[in-house]
Amino acid sequence: MVHVKDFYRRTSSLGLGEGWFPSSSGNYLRGAITGHGDINLPEVLKVIKQSGYNGYISIEFEGIEECKKAAKISFDNVKRIWEAV
């Protein structure tokens, strides 16, 4: 199974406030609607698809948006990207 998740990634010496958490490399992360964040999902999914994978894909969302709507947008984005690559 492939598990898809997206994040916003920022650098800051002061921290970024509520919703953001520090990574082990000193950056800050915040969960994003899948396809809206900073991860290059078209490239990631293209590599996975070109490997011959055709199994299940799961979505994980931990952003600050309303979860049901964000999960639907995430699912629709991943499905659209998968079909396009």
Please state, in angstroms and rounded to a whole number, the distance separating the CA atoms of residues 15 and 76. Answer: 32
Number of domains, the chain: 1
- Compute the radius of gyration of the chain from its Cα atoms: 14
State residue 83 phi and psi, 5-degree precision. -70, -25
pLDDT digits (tens, 9 = 90+) for 27-74: 999 999 999 999 999 999 999 999 999 999 999 999 999 999 999 999
Please state, in angstroms and rounded to a whole number, the distance separating the CA atoms of residues 17 and 15. Answer: 6
Question: pLDDT confidence of 77, banded at 50, 70, 90?
Answer: very high
Give the structural domain span for 47: 2-84
